Structure formats: C-alpha cells, structure tokens
C-alpha cells in the first residue's frame, strides 16, 4: 500500500498520529475532523496515499463515496440526530484542498442551523471527540439492525 512519510493522513492510517476513528476496514478509514464545522464532521479517506482525484482510481472513489453515504445516514440515525449533511470533496488547492491526501467531508446539518454553521465555519472548534465518535459508531451499528 502506498504511504507517504510526511502526510498527516498516512500517519493516521499507520497509527502514528491520533484520530477519533469512526469506521475502518482494510481499504478505508473514517475519522473526525480535528477542526469540525459542525459536531460529527467526519473525513473519509482511502488508506493508500492518493493526493488528488487525478491520482484516485474510480472504483476507490466510488467506495469512498459509498462509505460517506453510509456515514451520512448513520449521522441521522445516531443520537446526533442530523437532519441532513453536506458531502464535500475539495480537489486541489484551487478548490481549498489543504491536506494533500484526498478525502471526503461528511458534515452533519440540522434544520435551522444556518447561523451555527457559519459560526462553525469561522471558529472550527472541536470538543467531546470521543463521545461524538462513539455516537457515530452507534449510528452505524443501528443501520445494521433490522
Ligand atoms: P481540506 O481543506 O478539504 O483539505 O480539508 C482538510 C481537513 O483536514 C480540514 O478540515 C482539517 O481540519 C482536517 N485535518 C487536518 N489535520 C487533521 C488531523 N490531524 N486529524 C483530523 N483532521 C485533520
Ligand atoms: Zn497520505
């Protein structure tokens, strides 16, 4: 698997940097954004290092989206009780990509949260990380139940 030594997300994959993990399998990892716009803001990555869309195999991108889709649904079923979500992928510095390991943002939203969302965009403040990650994992488990 391709990993890059100075990439923070590759360091998270290796376990050399801390992250609040929400989901993991052999190929994909989802963890909380360290500077969340809203509570539960999650990043989905493929484990092998790919910097931009141009470097990402289409089937890997599809699997990233499928996991982002699943996490968005789990946010709604979890006690975070999201009413919706923004799924965003910033491809390249021109599109505000700051971490050069391609990732999909899943940002939970609530009805009437416009002001809180704008404040979150400005402040990007975290907190309750372990509890939040546990709530999302619970939401994923609830999705597996009939
Ligand atoms: P982008 O601007 O689309 O490249 O987003 C990069 C995201 O990665 C930002 O929302 C950062 O807050 C987030 N981020 C940077 N470093 C870490 C980290 N060590 N753990 C979790 N999220 C991070
Ligand atoms: Zn990387």
Lookup: tokens for 102: 């391609």
Atom 1 of ligand 1: nearest residue by CA position: 97
pLDDT at site 67: 98
User: Which residues on neighbouring strands pair with residue 38, listed in sequence order?
Assistant: none
pLDDT at position 146, please? 74
Phi, psi of 130 (to 5 degrees): -65, -40
- CA 2 – CA 118 distance, rounded (Å): 37
Query: pLDDT, tens digit, for every residue of 117-144?
Result: 999 999 999 999 999 999 999 999 999 8
- Quick check: 44 and 67 in contact, CB under 8 A? yes
pTM (2 d.p.): 0.98
**124 C-alpha vs ligand 2 centroid, how far in Å?**
22
Report the 10 Å Cβ neighbour count for 68.
Answer: 23
Largest CA distance in the chain: 43
pLDDT-based confidence at residue 2 (cuts at 50, 70, 90): confident
**Tens-place pLDDT, residues 32-88:** 999 999 999 999 999 999 999 999 999 999 999 999 999 999 999 999 999 999 999
CA–CA dist 32, 53 (Å, integer): 21
Residue 35 CA to ligand 1 centre (angstroms): 7
pLDDT value, residue 85? 98
């Amino acid at each position: 698997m391709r990993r890059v030594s100075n990439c923070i997300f590759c360091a998270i994959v290796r376990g050399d940097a801390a992250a609040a993990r929400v989901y993991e399998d052999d190929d994909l990892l989802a963890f909380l954004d360290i500077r969340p716009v809203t509570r539960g803001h999650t990043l989905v990555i493929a484990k092998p290092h790919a910097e931009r869309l141009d470097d990402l195999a289409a089937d890997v991108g599809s699997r990233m989206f499928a996991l982002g889709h699943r996490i968005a649904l789990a946010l709604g079923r979890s006690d975070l009780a999201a009413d919706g979500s923004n799924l965003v992928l910033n491809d390249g510095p021109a599109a505000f990509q700051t971490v050069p390991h391609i990732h999909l943002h899943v940002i939970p939203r609530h009805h009437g949260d416009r002001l809180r969302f704008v404040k979150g965009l400005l402040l990007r403040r975290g907190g309750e990380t372990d509890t939040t990650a546990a709530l999302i994992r619970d939401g994923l488990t609830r999705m597996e139940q009939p």
